[in-house]
Structure 1
Amino acid sequence: MTLNDRFIIKVPASTANLGPGFDSMGLAVDLYLTLEVEKSDKWNIQSVSDELKGFPTDETNFILQIAIKTASKYGVNLQPCQIQVASDIPLARGLGSSAAAIIAGIELADSVGNIGLTQQEKLLIATEVEGHPDNVGASLFGGLFIGSYQDNEVDMLSISNISFEMVAVIPDEILLTKDSRGVLPAELSRECAIQASSTANLLVAALLTQNWGLAGKMMSQDLFHHPYRKPLIRAYQEIEEMAKELGAFGVALSGAGPTVLCFTEKGKGKVVERGLKSEFSRMSTKILTIDFSGSSVSSVERFVK
């Protein structure tokens, strides 16, 4: 694809795990990180979103570091760019803000440096940075993403023939992934591992066959991380109980938390969101839908401000 000197990179947010799909299952959602890029004589990245105002504006910015390192991997020196960045992805809330930034940096390197990366190459680079493929894979490919990272390879499937809504309940406080990972056990017994993996397997089958009740049951039976992380999340139990009373078929932490996702059949999200917003007024609530497009790069003329 030939781009003009100005172009747009758009990357969706993601939720990971969906309960038992720990570090292997992700879902792209309709919140976005957007970069408007113009080639320049020096690097400068400015935010038009208040939440990103404190980030570096030069090469030390995380997105630019990813771009420069990616290009360097292929022996390419990037021409500097002037970048405006906007995001409606909450930071450190379990909605893949760092994964979206990683994908944006890789797309920036590929576009400015004319590297010609395949989707699989982008995925591997992103997974090596992130450590697991769930969030980055969903942001890159869109839809429901299932991936396995072993021996420096990522095997994956991206599934688009699936449809449901989610209501995100987003606490004000942040929860860093490294802190949330710190409460997880180093090992699981064989019996626990069998039960945990069978639950994850059945979750996938339930989602693909639209057996929503079974999918929700498997979400609630996760053994990989929910038992250890739920105590860190304010009002998790109350949110789960009320969401199910309102019609949600399943509830799970979004990634490492603290956002709680309540899954509903299509068309039922408004009722669930309205009830949760009334009861948990000190938290933000938002209806989310699945993004099926994944990351995109387009000439600025096609971008409607």
Structure 2
Amino acid sequence: MGTKIRTPKTVAGRVVLAAISTLFALLFLYPFAWLLAASFKPRGEVFDNRLIPQTFVPENYAEVWDQLPLLSWMFNSVAIALLAATAVSISSSIVAFGFAYFSFPGRKLLFGLVLATMMLPGAVTMIPVYLIWKETGLLGTWVPLWGANLFGSAFYIFLQRQFFLGLPRELFEAARIDGASYWGLFWRIAMPLSVPSFVIVFLFEFQASWNNLQAALIYLNAGTVDEFTAPLGIAYAMTKYSPTAGGQGDYQYVMVASLIVTLPMLILFAFGQRYFIEGVATQGRKG
């Protein structure tokens, strides 16, 4: 059974718990508050560490669209993240259902090999994967940023398998007696009952793809600026405005752009948090 977290019964204990929770919340919110304040500052005050700007410059939010192709970067990132999250969520769920439902010789060994792939550092496979995409002629396109997700992810397969194992076996046996196919078992029974876990996988991968600077740097850096993703675009803007690269130090536009590109993730988590909490609670009840 899962461990039950008990709240303090005394007033002093509750006050201490509230104080600690508030302190950690402020620590996590401080970088966002700093970024918000810096986005309203003029060029010379961006790094003065004031949480309340001495000089408010709301014009930064209007000028940034002329300074940087922000809409193109956000569109590219959203499209790639949706493709990556959808592909890995569906493919991982299919593989996970196979491991959870079917019994076949070598299943445990094969599942162990799948999990063992998580032990490989990304640096080990970076060059071989690059050479594979080079041979396909797809360098400079979006495909390398999401195409590998069509084959699933070991972590997501493990996560989805745990949810599928918690489903009553009798549901699938009854459906088989009624003539349901194996695909029907997955699509009509397993998937509707595992929506929380599916949403969790989707959110995790969307965030991972949205923040993936390394892959964009490798596969898109040779293209035009308009083809960049949001993380690569922000890195480009930092270099563009750097005085060492001939810029004028207009980092206020970088702060505005950084704040704007966080909005899709905030919106996504706002809509998906119910499923996230439900999924965690379900796993806790299984424990």
| Range into which the TM-score falls when normalised by the shorter chain | under 0.3
**Which structure ranks higher in relative contact order (CA pairs < 8 Å, sequence separation ≥ 6)?**
2
Structure number with larger C-alpha Rg: 2
The structure that is helix-richer by fraction is: 2
The structure that is strand-richer by fraction is: 1
